[in-house]
Structure 1
Amino acid sequence: MILRTRLLISFSFISLLIVLIFGTVAYRITTESTHNNETRVILSYAKSKANELRSILGNLKPTEQSPFILSDNGNSLNYYIVLNSSNDLVAHSPFNNDITEFLNRFGMQKRTKKKPSGALTLNDQKYLWGMAEIPETGNSLILMHQVNDQAALKKIVSVRLIITGAIVFWVAIWGALIVSSIISKRIRKKNAELLHQSLHDSLTELPNRTLLIERLQQAVNYCRQEGKTLALITLSLSRVKEINDTLGHKSGDILLRKIAPRLQDTLCEPDTIARLSGGEFAILLSNIKLENLTVVANKIITAFEAPFTIGALDIQTGVTLGIAIFPDHSHEPDILSRLSEVALHQAKEKGREFIVYTQDSDPHTIDRLTLMAELRYAIEYNGLDLYYQPQIDIASKQVVGVEALVRWHHRERGFIPPDEFIPKAEQVGLIKPLTTWVLEEAIQQLKLWNKQGINLQIAINISQRSLPGRQLATQISDLLDRINIRSCHLELEITESAIMTETESSLTTMHDLKELGVGLSIDDFGTGFSSLSYLKELPIDTLKIDKSFVMSMLSNNDDAVIVRSIIELAHNMGRAVVAEGVESLEMLEKLELLQCDIAQGYYMAKPMPAHELEKWLSESEWGKNGIIDMEQQCDKRLQNKMRKTAS
């Protein structure tokens, strides 16, 4: 509309300019044309008048020719001048202007143009003239006509101007409308193309993230009004990078363009299939029943088991799905999109084909982000506590060591269990500073106990994220040197899964720690997937049986068999065995019967702060049995190591 208005105004101005130019030109042309016509008439009339004057001038006496005054015959606009062959004035009619000046200008014009007719202006008055020879006299007649009929001329011009102006203006208006219509169509087409490009993926022509969110908002509004359920599935295609690297990006692009048709063939009219980035796609399903969601997910997964044909090759690929649901998870489209991607990443980490979002698996909720910020603060400003749970030598019933367990008493949330904040710390990258704090605090406490004559071994759990690389061994070596504690007082507990992650790097770190003299233990043994051939290569001292087996071994024969097998395996490989989760005398007696080495659990003592442990050592039955002096154990280990080196 703005374009059309501007074009109309522009064309109106142009048409007005054209009319003005045309009027000026038309006036000049009309004037010239009129004068030319009148000049021809005057010339003809002059010739006629010359014949009339022949008899008059022929009868003049010589004395009467100086000059003779002619009658104007009643026409006040016509004037006559008679010249002889020498261009002297012979006769003239009454003249309203300076006849001498006229003759001078006439002579000049006559010599210049050499025409029998013309026009000249004298004292702002315009005259048209025509010249004819008077027969048999040797004289010439000049007929002059005074031009005064400008009004008629202007009328003629104005009529033409009005007609021409109307035509030009009509053409201009329609021209503006036609041009504006053509331009508007082109602009609308171009805008539509740009809008399409901004809302669609250029490779697959599928909706992009922006259009997905827009349609998701519409679907959410509809489902909210109708009380229906909506599912957003984020799909990740596997092997895209491998295909690009092996066959080239052209083949990868062909594969990506084949995704939407396969999904459309698989699903019953999905609301939207969008490409998010790389090999990630999104599927919007409104009005879906929750009980059918698993069926739909499996249907998609099954559809991608069939290979894609690219050229002469059949390419096998697979998919992983993350699912978020309205209204269960969120009412906001942006949040639903993020939650489905969180579920997708969780599915990839856990090796699952699909996962429906759960808040427990999301490390990025506002509450979790706040909690992690508070954990960072607690680590930096000593807001955590270390508790210690005693470990008992089953044969002698003496205390052999303790396990250091981190505890967090939040000033507002109260006690936060370790299994709630430690996994989150691993997800957000806080596990290394947390491990550093625990090591520092535990080794400092060892130093204090040594000064009191309490020579214990302290066990500390190490996360799988801290194990790869050689930084851990260097960090522990520096701590032990700075605090002046013998390395044999320290034992590190590492889970099977941590060892199996980046095995070569983990094994290198374990050997470095073993060289320092630090004890190594496999924690929660029996729950992982380490092979016996790999187990024998590990430089470990102890296997720690997972408490799930220990706690149920009295009621479950299979668990009892597992516990006995682990003990026998460890002893045959020259390793000690620790059983955690001992909560009754019957469990302890069973472990003693199976010749387990060390017991740890609530039956002996719960985890407690350092000052309570000191009290427990002096007052409890276990503490009164004595403490196995770790300094003596260290000396024995050193002697054994020296004998092995010498041999």
Structure 2
Amino acid sequence: MRLRTQILLSILGITVLAQAVFGFLAYRQITESRGDQLSIFLQYLNREVAGRFTIPGNKYVAEIYLEELRKKFSTPQSILIIQKNKRILYIAGETDTDIGIISQRLNEAYADSDKHGLIEMSGLEYYWAVSPLPDENYQLVMLEPAGTEEMEIASALRIRLLSSGLIILWIAVWVSLLLSSKISRQLDEKNDQLEYIALHDNLTGLPNRKLLADRLEQVYLQAQKNEQSFVLFLIDLDRFKEINDTLGHPFGDELLKIIGTRLADSIRDNDTIARLGGDEFAVLLPESGLGGAQTCAKRILSKMDAPVCINGVTTESKASIGIAIYPEHGENIEILMQHADVAMYQAKKSQTGYAIYDARHNTHTVRRLQLMHDLRDAIEKKQIEVFYQPLLDATHEQVICVEGLARWHHGELGAISPDEFIPMAEQMGLIGALTFQVLEKALQAYNYWKAHDCCSPVSINLSTYCLQDMSLPEELKSIFTKYHVEASVVELEITESALMHDLSRAGKILEQLHQMGLKLAIDDFGTGFSSLNYLKKLPVDTLKIDKSFIFDMCESARDNAIVKTIIELGHNLGCRVVAEGVENRRVLENLRLLNVDVIQGFYYSKPLSSSDLIEWLQNNKKRNCSADPVN
């Protein structure tokens, strides 16, 4: 209404101003028309005065002549004046007005026009006109009363202006109302659009953090009032950053849109799904409890299980859901959010899909949050160390290569197990940077060993997500060029699960790596979804038997049979077979009887730093030369 009032007042003001201007112009046109007539008459009378009237002269005689001229050439009510320098000298005609007032009114009128106009004296209006006499110091002035006809015309004009003004005013009011209504409607639509943009995520169209906070506040107040419970989910996509970095941000954006749609399809009409930013989402379930939370979580995970195909690339994106229930897990919104976050990280750790808040996990999760922050910092500052464990020929005990293993010594928490920080790096999307950092340090160490005449090939582990990056071959090629190392001295170890994640895509990348001269080893063989099909198709050089089979092979006939089968399979496929986790002589001898090719484990050496490895290699070389038995 405020906008409509402003528009209405503006149009009314313009209308009134236009009426005043038009009225003034019309009225002025009437006066100027009559004034023009008087001016023409004075020009004629001027010639009469010039011919019959001598100035200066006797004042009495001059006024008699002037009166004769007035009676002869003008109306009875007219006044004829001769003035010098705007001061009246002679006047002819009857008037009750003092000469001083007449002079004052004329002088005031001259300020608006120096030829003619309209003045008022003694309640009457007079048209006036002035014309200079031959002597430039003298002027002839004539005053003519405004006649009845002119007054009637002016009155009719005022009435017509008033009536037309009312009509225009009525039209203006309706136009302003219609115009303001349209503008208000457009502004309301624009405000609705701006409000929607402010409260929704521009990529997925889902409510954003601000709208979630508003609805969460409303649900919280209602739950307090009615003593009801409600549920809050915090959802984080597993390994989304890695997918985003590997396949590109447009791919990641499309994936988020699809996931947003799937999440929205998994909830009730009165529930709220919001995108908090990045790959984090939240779900609010009003008037719900544990049963409803579990049902909704399972429905979401079921929707997320379906593969996603974008631009011909098929991938999957799992989710971890943290669940907190009011008031059981928090009596205010802030605590509830924190506990849902704790539960989400517990779900990530347990790989169960979803987890309900458990206070026992709270401290551990705080530690995990600290580790996640510090791990990113450690990778950026290249603080992750690389230790090396030798792999030896089973028969001659000569070093075949060394495996580079990432190690992290935390400033406050001490040594952090790779089983803890490697999955964390994968979840945070840092595994690519970590892999390249380990490779670069390994190549630096290789050049260092080469300078000390202790050269040994290197193997490093390659994450699942690195195999999704089509630029991986070029990245590796640039690193080899940087350190002047042939690709053939490096062996890449990958797990079966990494291959089965997307065998077609991984196969293309591995084929390019093979053509570069890199060797390929299947790590932890036998623990994943083994398939002879990929062994047939991929350029595999080495099979590494998982240590879980090696530990108990002397006590378990089943484990011994599995190890024997893997060794025979590898040899039949032309692959070298490595036994991991060898810790005693008995296992070593058993493996030798099964014709294993390479031994790796604490029996020979634990992982060593680069400098310690040189010493170990030199000592091992001396032992081989002297043919001393290994202790």
1:442–1:458 Cα contact (<8 Å) kept: no
Q: Pick from 190, 209, 215: which aligns with 1:219?
A: 215
Q: Pick from 444, 447, 461: which aligns with 1:444?
A: 447
Aligned in 2, Cα 1:424/1:411: closer, same or farther, shift over 3 Å?
A: same
Note the 1:399-478 alignment, pairs <5 A: 401-411=401-411, 414-420=414-420, 422=422, 427-428=429-430, 429-431=432-434, 433-450=436-453, 454=454, 458-463=458-463, 465=466, 470-471=473-474, 474=477
Note the 1:26-65 alignment, pairs <5 A: none
Q: Secondary structure at the match of 2:606?
A: coil
Measured in 2, the distance between the counterparts of 1:7 and 1:593 equals 103
* Counterpart AA for 2:440: W
Task: Check if 1:4 corresponds to 2:5.
Answer: yes
Measured in 2, the distance between the counterparts of 1:301 and 1:401 equals 43
Measured in 2, the distance between the counterparts of 1:173 and 1:234 equals 64
Give the greater-gyration-radius structure (CA).
1
Give 1:35's aligned residue.
none
Aligned in 2, Cα 1:613/1:165: closer, same or farther, shift over 3 Å?
A: same
Q: Secondary structure at the match of 1:506?
A: helix
Give 1:53's aligned residue.
none
Aligned residues: 470
Q: Secondary structure at the match of 2:549?
A: helix
**Aligned-residue offset at 1:105:** 0.9
Note the 1:306-317 alignment, pairs <5 A: none
Q: Secondary structure at the match of 1:408?
A: strand
Task: Check if 1:229 corresponds to 2:231.
Answer: yes
2:77–2:93 Cα contact (<8 Å) kept: yes
* Counterpart AA for 2:9: L
Q: Pick from 372, 377, 380: which aligns with 2:376?
A: 372
**Aligned-residue offset at 1:435:** 4.4
Give 1:150's aligned residue.
124
1:543–1:575 Cα contact (<8 Å) kept: yes
Measured in 2, the distance between the counterparts of 1:19 and 1:487 equals 97
1:387–1:407 Cα contact (<8 Å) kept: yes
* Counterpart AA for 1:513: G
Measured in 2, the distance between the counterparts of 1:320 and 1:386 equals 31
Note the 1:558-597 alignment, pairs <5 A: 558-585=558-585, 587-597=587-597
Give 1:101's aligned residue.
69
Give 1:270's aligned residue.
270
**Aligned-residue offset at 1:372:** 2.9
**Aligned-residue offset at 1:191:** 1.4
Note the 1:318-357 alignment, pairs <5 A: none
Measured in 1, the distance between the counterparts of 2:317 and 2:451 equals 56
Give 2:118's aligned residue.
none
Give 2:511's aligned residue.
507
Q: Secondary structure at the match of 1:596?
A: coil
Aligned in 2, Cα 1:271/1:478: closer, same or farther, shift over 3 Å?
A: closer
**Aligned-residue offset at 1:395:** 4.5
* Counterpart AA for 1:8: L
Q: Secondary structure at the match of 1:218?
A: helix
2:274–2:281 Cα contact (<8 Å) kept: yes
Aligned in 2, Cα 1:404/1:574: closer, same or farther, shift over 3 Å?
A: same
Aligned in 2, Cα 1:547/1:217: closer, same or farther, shift over 3 Å?
A: same
Measured in 1, the distance between the counterparts of 2:28 and 2:93 equals 16
Aligned in 2, Cα 1:164/1:391: closer, same or farther, shift over 3 Å?
A: same
Measured in 2, the distance between the counterparts of 1:357 and 1:559 equals 38
Give 1:389's aligned residue.
389
Aligned in 2, Cα 1:356/1:628: closer, same or farther, shift over 3 Å?
A: farther
1:544–1:580 Cα contact (<8 Å) kept: yes
1:511–1:539 Cα contact (<8 Å) kept: no
**Aligned-residue offset at 1:11:** 2.8
Aligned in 2, Cα 1:320/1:594: closer, same or farther, shift over 3 Å?
A: closer
**Aligned-residue offset at 1:564:** 2.5
Aligned in 2, Cα 1:614/1:430: closer, same or farther, shift over 3 Å?
A: closer
Give 2:189's aligned residue.
193
Measured in 1, the distance between the counterparts of 2:26 and 2:9 equals 25
Give 1:293's aligned residue.
293
Structure 2, unaligned runs of 5 or more: 34-62, 82-90, 95-120, 126-145, 238-257, 307-315
**Aligned-residue offset at 1:288:** 4.0
1:4–1:176 Cα contact (<8 Å) kept: no
Measured in 2, the distance between the counterparts of 1:580 and 1:104 equals 141
Q: Secondary structure at the match of 2:389?
A: strand
1:208–1:276 Cα contact (<8 Å) kept: no
* Counterpart AA for 2:16: S
Measured in 2, the distance between the counterparts of 1:231 and 1:486 equals 47
1:496–1:523 Cα contact (<8 Å) kept: yes
1:398–1:628 Cα contact (<8 Å) kept: no
Note the 1:542-557 alignment, pairs <5 A: 542-553=542-553
**Aligned-residue offset at 1:100:** 1.8
* Counterpart AA for 2:124: Q
**Aligned-residue offset at 1:102:** 3.2
Give 1:626's aligned residue.
624
Give per-residue Cα distances to partners, 1:158-214, cap 9 Å, x unaligned. Answer: 99999999999999998887665544432321112123334559xxxx997485444
Give 1:142's aligned residue.
none
**Aligned-residue offset at 1:608:** 1.8
Structure 1, unaligned runs of 5 or more: 33-94, 110-117, 128-146, 236-255, 307-317, 630-647
Measured in 1, the distance between the counterparts of 2:475 and 2:5 equals 74
* Counterpart AA for 1:217: A
Aligned in 2, Cα 1:200/1:101: closer, same or farther, shift over 3 Å?
A: same
1:231–1:325 Cα contact (<8 Å) kept: yes
2:546–2:579 Cα contact (<8 Å) kept: yes
2:494–2:522 Cα contact (<8 Å) kept: yes
Aligned in 2, Cα 1:331/1:12: closer, same or farther, shift over 3 Å?
A: same
1:461–1:492 Cα contact (<8 Å) kept: yes
2:209–2:276 Cα contact (<8 Å) kept: no
Give 1:493's aligned residue.
493
TM-score (norm 1): 0.53
**Aligned-residue offset at 1:20:** 8.2
Measured in 2, the distance between the counterparts of 1:563 and 1:185 equals 84
Aligned in 2, Cα 1:605/1:305: closer, same or farther, shift over 3 Å?
A: closer
Aligned in 2, Cα 1:509/1:2: closer, same or farther, shift over 3 Å?
A: closer
Range moving further from structure 2, 566-575 or 218-227: 218-227
**Aligned-residue offset at 1:216:** 1.0
Give per-residue Cα distances to partners, 1:31-72, cap 9 Å, x unaligned. Answer: x9xxxxxxxxxxxxxxxxxxxxxxxxxxxxxxxxxxxxxxxx
1:207–1:274 Cα contact (<8 Å) kept: no
